[in-house]
Amino acid sequence: MGLLSKKDAALITDPLADNNPITIQVLGICSALAITAELKASIVMSLSVLFVLGVGNVVISLMRNIIPSKIRIIVQLIVVATLVIIVDQVLKAFAYDLSKTLSVFIGLIITNCIIMGRFEAFALGNGPWRSFLDGIGNALGYAVILIIVGFFRELLGSGTLLGFKVLGDPIEKTGLYALGYENNGFMLLSPMALIVVGIIIWVQRTRNKALVED
Amino acid sequence: MGLKQNLHNLKEKYKGTKMAPAFNAIHTFLYLPNETTHGGTHIKAADDLKRTMNTVIMALVPCLLFGMFNAGYQHNAAINGFTEGMSFFSGDFWNMDNFLVGLTKILPLVIVSYLVGLVIEFIFAVIKGHEVEEGYLVTGMLVPLIVPVDLPLWMLAVAVAFGVVIGKEVFGGTGMNILNPALTIRAFLFFAYPTWMSGDKVWVHGAVEAAGTADAISGETVLGSLAQSQPISYSVSDMFFGFIPGSVGETSTLLILLGALFLIFTKIGSWRIMLSSVIGALVMGFIFNQVVDMGWVGETSKFYGLMSLDFWKHLLIGGFAFGAVYMATDPVTAAQTNKGKWIYGFLIGFISIMIRVFNPAYPEGVMLAILLMNVFAPTIDHYVVQGNVKRRLKRLKAKTA
């Protein structure tokens, strides 16, 4: 890591594991449950959050000294809303089907606790470069969980990955389906996403006992 | 040296190591431990957890045997034609042909259920370093009784693994679970593999393979045909004796009733919960009957079939009786206070019938009703206890004032 100092590198690596926004801080759960039935949707959602959080953190950080503290939440909301609308419009223009799948959840990035949380906790008190790294780091931490959950839900729920039938064709009974395997419909329902996130939390805390609370 | 001494020696040899719980479990399951307690004061009681579990299993055995005969009977009768007006001891039902069909289908379900569940219990006991708990003994027996006969074994294995790990072990094992593990397993199967858990093809052995051919078998359950507002083709005595298609062990209301009496007599199952859930179901059924009588729901309504069913017949069809007797009374997940048990049971019955009637997509309301009330049981207990505290405080004030 010649590019970044050790302290800066930690901004990116910490949220990936031991300070993960979803599994440790338990933020941004709603979108993690709602849109992870397909891997593709998870990836697009992650990219959207990456963009919003990265740019938003920089913008807030640049303005941090001129925002009156009484109205800072409103300013933050305007910044995030602007960015989310950009993402939404881009998706509608270039990936209409996906934007249909993600429906309101792109719009709901505005209310994603991770974003407001990072604005409040980090961007308001740090320079633009460090805020940018923090935004990217947290968005990547979010992305890791979304992609893991999306991977398992799509693989076990629909037997596909990114739309490719990796386990064979369920109708023509090829591949695994020839042996009597069937897709697990429960995986496509939101409760199962919660359970998958729960299992990730369980595994993570078993590997690192320091994360266990109380 | 007998097996007992061998096991005892193994136990001594592995004492303090990680594998110890595994040997201890086998030893104490089969025999009395070699060492007895000494010194101090003791309360001597025979009703330990193993005794409790085994009593429930004994109450389930008739249902299991009946299920084997019924699986065969439904299969053979679907091919050769049903016998009208059978008495309970009819030779058309209790014969070797039926039993063998059932045995070859149901024994594997029982074996897979126990094998997967107990292996997971052993693994967790070894990892966590506690003794193997007996909780799975009953769950393992309940599970094959509440699934359709043709369920693929690997699905059962997946569901059991899920149910035991997510439904029980993550909460801390036997006695700590919020949801009834057997119903968690069934709910998992129901939502994961709905084509194998509902519809008119899965309840009779052979119906899935025969579907679409000239030998197609219709194996609609009573609930299923009622949900489509078709008349019931079974007599009341058939439904009471259990000569109807359904999950393996839940069809015979008569045997469930005997099991219930046995559980009440041995004081293992709570009569309050059983009675109040029956009352709850009857009340809800009666309300629906009244609604139909008032003419608010016409024959064209999709709810008409189930709503107009005589309210007491709800007890005979579907898994209601089985759920109320064997699942709702699970001492871990049910309400603990006496008053709480009445409320808990009543709501189970009430909600079961409501789900059954209003949601044809979930024809078996009792599973969801019990799981829902499992979640609310601690809340009910909390308010019952708080109510007691309040009343006593008031009494205290009145006395001292």
> Shortest Cα distance from B205 to chain A (angstroms)?
17
* Arithmetic mean of pLDDT, B159-179: 87
Please give the pLDDT value at position B1. 58
Q: Percent of chain B, pLDDT > 70?
A: 93
Answer left, alpha or beta for residue B43, where phi above 0 means left and psi between -120 and 50 means alpha: beta
B127 in contact with A at a CB cutoff of 8 Å?
no
Q: Residue B295: which pLDDT band, with cuts at 50, 70 and 90?
A: confident
pLDDT (tens digit, 9 = 90+) per residue, B32-41?
766 667 777 7
pLDDT (tens digit, 9 = 90+) per residue, B356-388?
888 767 777 889 999 999 999 999 999 999 999
Q: Which of B154, B155, B191 sits opposite A189 (nearest CB)?
A: B191
Three-state DSSP state, A161: strand
Which chain A residues are closer than 8 Å to B197 by Cβ? Answer: none
Of B160-169, B300-309, B354-363, where does the model show the most confidence? B160-169
B375 in contact with A at a CB cutoff of 8 Å?
no
- What are the structural domain ranges in chain B? 49-387
Q: Which residues contact A52 (CB under 8 A, 6 or more apart)?
A: A80, A83, A84, A87, A109, A115, A139
Mean pLDDT in each 10-residue stretch from start to end of chain A (214 residues)? Answer: 72 80 80 83 88 91 88 89 90 85 80 84 87 90 90 87 80 76 84 88 83 70
Q: Which residue of B has its CA nearest to A157?
A: B192
Q: Which of A182, A189, A202 sits opposite B193 (nearest CB)?
A: A182
Q: Which residue of B has its CA nearest to A158?
A: B192
* Arithmetic mean of pLDDT, B244-251: 84
Q: Residue B217: which pLDDT band, with cuts at 50, 70 and 90?
A: low
Please give the pLDDT value at position B231. 72
Which chain B residues are closer than 8 Å to A181 by Cβ? Answer: 154
Which chain B residues are closer than 8 Å to A190 by Cβ? Answer: none
pLDDT (tens digit, 9 = 90+) per residue, B305-347?
778 788 888 888 878 899 999 999 888 888 889 999 999 999 9
Burial B288-309 (b: 16+ CB within 10 A, else e): bbeebeeeebeeeeebbbbbbb
Please give the pLDDT value at position A1. 46
Interchain pair B192, A187: CB under 8 A: yes
B191 in contact with A at a CB cutoff of 8 Å?
yes
For residue B149, is pLDDT > 90? no
Q: Which among B178, B179, B193 is the top mutation candidate for probing chain A, defined by the most A β-carbons within 10 Å of its own β-carbon?
A: B193
B66 in contact with A at a CB cutoff of 8 Å?
no
Which chain A residues are closer than 8 Å to B192 by Cβ? Answer: 184-187
Averaged pLDDT score across all residues of chain B: 83
* Arithmetic mean of pLDDT, B169-179: 84
Q: Which among A158, A182, A183 is the top mutation candidate for probing chain B, defined by the most B β-carbons within 10 Å of its own β-carbon?
A: A182
Tokens at B312, concatenated: 């007491």
Question: Cβ of B91: how many Cβ atoms within 10 Å?
Answer: 9
Question: Cβ of A103: how many Cβ atoms within 10 Å?
Answer: 11
Q: How far is CA A197 from CA A23, A33, A37, A135, in A?
A: 7, 9, 13, 22
ipTM over 0.90: no
Interchain pair B194, A185: CB under 8 A: yes
* Arithmetic mean of pLDDT, B223-229: 74
Q: Residues in chain A, how many?
A: 214
A189 in contact with B at a CB cutoff of 8 Å?
yes
Interchain pair B192, A185: CB under 8 A: yes
Q: Residue B277: which pLDDT band, with cuts at 50, 70 and 90?
A: very high
Please give the pLDDT value at position B219. 66
Please give the pLDDT value at position A2. 59
In A25-161, alpha helices (H): 29-34, 39-63, 72-94, 96-102, 104-107, 113-121, 128-158
The residue type found at A28 is G
Three-state DSSP state, B70: helix
Please give the pLDDT value at position B211. 62
Interchain pair A184, B195: CB under 8 A: no
For residue B87, is pLDDT > 90? no
pTM of the prediction? 0.86
Please give the pLDDT value at position B115. 92
